[in-house]
Amino acid sequence: MTSQQTLSFMLDVGIVPVVRTTSAESAILAIEAIHAGGIRAAEITMTVPGAVKALEAVAAKFGDKLVLGAGTVLDPETARICMLAGADFFVTPSLKVSTIEMAKRYSKIICPGALTPTEILTAWEAGADIVKVFPCGNMGGPKYIKALKGPFPQIEMIPTGGVNLETAGEFLKAGACAVAVGGELVDAKLIKEGRYDLIEERARQYLAVIQKARNEMKASS
């Protein structure tokens, strides 16, 4: 996929599951469950032990059937390692311009983390494809996205933190281009119990919420 195809695909899916587990094996199983539930995108965070191996395994297994991201990428060196392991996009928790530059050098999608209006504009001007607004829930959730979209209608934003089945649709209506969901979807307790079937079911529920919100937005426009 080209970077533009990757970006279009992510926006079309509308949700990026954040896979933050305690082992590479559980991360791979969680992504299999998410994919079975219909979500064709996922992000493995660098906090997962053996994260790079997990990226390689998932990239080899799914190929173009899944848009694969590396999350919690703190520096350009890590971004490059993840790129070589098969990651299509990169997500950072904070704004580091050199990481954005690394992604752009190789025509990859980058979603840097930012919170304040100044950080968000700086990230966008540096070449961000989507700005990850984090931690969004702590700043008022959908209301915060709506407030930011006033002065920045041109900036694509994906909220992280505070996104659940109740709020996902509200975030989209507030102007988010997609949502990122962590523990509310990839639940540590379910993983510990081996209930990947319930993660698959939850993936379906999130897709239904996103579709409903998009239908309502179309109807009211």
Out of 96, 108, 132, 156, the active site residue is 132
Q: How far is 22 from 2, CA to CA, in rounded Å?
A: 32
Is the pLDDT reported for residue 1 higher than 90? no
Q: pLDDT tens digits, residue range 46-72?
A: 999 999 999 999 999 999 999 999 999
Q: Has residue 221 got a pLDDT over 90?
A: no
Write out pLDDT tens, residues 171-208: 999 999 999 999 999 999 999 999 999 999 999 999 99
Residue 77 annotated among the catalytic residues of the structure:
no
Rounded mean pLDDT of the chain?
97
Q: Is 173 a catalytic residue?
A: no
**CATH code of the region 3-216:** 3.20.20.70
Q: Which of 32, 43, 156, 170 is catalytic?
A: 43
Instruction: Give percent of the chain with pLDDT exceeding 90.
Output: 99
Q: Where are the domains of the chain?
A: 3-216
Average pLDDT over residues 32-41: 98
Residues 178, 160: Cα–Cα separation, whole Å:
10
pTM exceeds 0.75 for this model: yes
